[in-house]
Structure 1
């Protein structure tokens, strides 16, 4: 039995952010989870550069990788999770983890990138706190 899936409903309902960009890095799709995670409404994000959510200090590095991915037509982040800092509306920092999928036209040329993004801020902070506690315990044990 084959089940038909309404892809727009799936993208809207999914708990992770789904962000799609064109070859120039302009946002063409921004779901409700992206609004919740980053604080920008769909209207505020569509047609804008990904710089909207990339910390300024990382933008040059990001765009170098983005351009390379568009030219080469391949990425290692399709199956490997990338963990990076990001920014919310208003400038607040967060930690995200994401994978990407290259979107191709009928001729096979890359014509966009879709990202599935999860807010990992709380988990990242918990891990950082645990590492600090472990370091403190190890320092006491060796004293």
Structure 2
């Protein structure tokens, strides 16, 4: 049992992936060092705040519609290993590309009590893919012009 406790603490305290938990209303209840590294907000800044903290304003309506549906149904298509790729917002206002999965938190009666998201900043990879696509498009145009 002690090994499991240490394993859990090590995973939650990791600075590699962001781990963020919320309650049913979308208020942040847990923010690990990885979330601080990815988004720039400390746990003190984030805990108790709405997820709007890291969601770009133009995407909030869509996010909250999906979040409410997940809270009502207890089902998310991103809870079984499927990754969702979305823009995120950092403390300094930069938009980053984030991939994540979520896990439902349930109360003793098995009602959905919140979520835990495991997120990774994939901005560099996203930009590399975008640059490769541009190069392919340009080389295709150059080849058709000869």
Describe the superposition over 1:69-109 as per-residue Cα deviations: whole angstroms up to 9, x where unpaired: 00011100012100011110021110000000011111110
Q: Distance in 2 between matches of 1:4 and 1:51?
A: 33
Residue aligning to 1:91: 93
Structure-2 residue corresponding to 1:13 = 14
Structure 2 residue ranges without an equivalent (≥5): none
1:101 match: 103
Counterpart check, 1:136 vs 2:138: yes
Cα deviation 1:25-71 (Å, max 9, x = unaligned): 00000000100000000000000000000000000000000000000
- How far apart are residue 5 of structure 1 and its match? 3.5
Question: Aligned with 1:130: secondary structure?
Answer: helix
Whole-Å separation in 2 of the counterparts to 1:109 and 1:27: 18
Q: Which runs of 5+ in 1 are unaligned?
A: none
Local SS of the residue matching 2:21: strand
**What CA RMSD, in Å, does the superposition of the two structures yield over aligned residues?**
1.2
Partner of 1:50: 51
Equivalent pairs counted in the alignment come to 142
Determine the structure 1 residue equivalent to 2:125: 123
